[in-house]
């Protein structure tokens, strides 16, 4: 049931805004800009400053959004993330104990994998879907397309090389959703604190993406 609900959410909103910030205030502003731009899936990486506090705060402030976390490396971090209210959990690697703990808690878990063996291992261990990372290092959308033949039943979320310009290609190649980080937040716009422009960037992206 958890898996089906998560997959339905991804089908409706096939993009996740990944936020990694050195200061909590900055991460908060970035998240608000994404929500303002219509991005409803927001990942606060666990190595963001005060990530647990920020997740809890955003859960309260953005009830229309689904707030999760990523870059979880061990069980202690995963349990802290669950306690903070994270609604989905990403890891950069395949760890059966992390997947099982997430399943037991009833929270979608998306482990990171790259090879077909890792992808199948993650899926068989109970993953809600599988993050293909870093996709930019292995051919981009063509790699996702090549996986569809043997692994078409496994929902994939490519990250680490997805941009506003190529996101549609990944969905067309068979990905259920994409994860974007730095391309959503141009350095100059962040430096200028031009959150309105960043929100508009996200809004335009989402409008174009759902026309796939």
Query: Can you name the residues that pair with 70 across neighbouring β-strands?
Result: 45
Q: Show pLDDT as tens, one digit a residue, over the chain (212 residues).
A: 899 999 999 999 999 999 999 999 999 999 999 999 999 999 999 999 999 999 999 999 999 999 999 999 999 999 999 999 999 999 999 999 999 999 999 999 999 999 999 999 999 999 999 999 999 999 999 999 999 999 999 999 999 999 999 999 999 999 999 999 999 999 999 999 999 999 999 999 999 998 74
pLDDT value of position 115:
97
Domains along the chain with CATH numbers: 2-128+178-203 (3.20.20.70)
Q: Where are the beta strands (DSSP E) in 34-190?
A: 41-45, 66-70, 89-91, 109-113, 130-132, 156-158, 178-180
pLDDT value of position 136:
94
d(CA 107, CA 72): 14
- Residue 164 burial (10 A CB sphere; 0-12, 13-18, 19+): middle
d(CA 88, CA 141): 24
132: left (phi over 0), alpha (psi -120 to 50) or beta: beta
pLDDT value of position 211:
72
pTM to 2 decimals? Answer: 0.96
pLDDT value of position 1:
84
């Amino acid at each position: 049931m958890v898996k089906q609900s998560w997959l339905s959410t991804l089908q409706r909103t096939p993009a996740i805004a990944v936020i990694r910030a050195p200061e909590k205030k900055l991460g908060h502003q970035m998240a608000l800009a994404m929500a303002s731009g219509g991005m409803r899936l927001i990942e606060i990486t666990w190595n963001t400053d005060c990530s647990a506090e920020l997740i809890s705060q955003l859960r309260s402030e953005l009830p229309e959004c689904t707030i999760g976390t990523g870059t979880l490396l061990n069980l202690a971090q995963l349990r802290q993330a669950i306690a903070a209210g994270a609604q989905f959990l990403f890891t950069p690697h395949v760890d059966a104990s992390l997947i099982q703990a997430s399943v037991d808690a009833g929270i979608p878990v998306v482990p990171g994998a790259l090879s077909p063996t890792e992808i199948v291992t993650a899926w068989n261990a109970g993953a809600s879907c599988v993050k293909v990372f870093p996709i930019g290092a292995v051919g981009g959308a063509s790699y996702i397309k090549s996986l569809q033949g043997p692994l078409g039943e496994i929902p994939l979320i490519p990250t680490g090389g997805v941009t506003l310009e190529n996101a549609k290609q990944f969905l067309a190649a068979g990905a259920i959703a994409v994860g974007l980080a730095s391309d959503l937040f141009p350095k100059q716009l962040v430096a200028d604190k031009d959150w309105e422009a960043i929100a508009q960037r996200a809004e335009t992206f989402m409008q174009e993406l759902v026309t796939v």
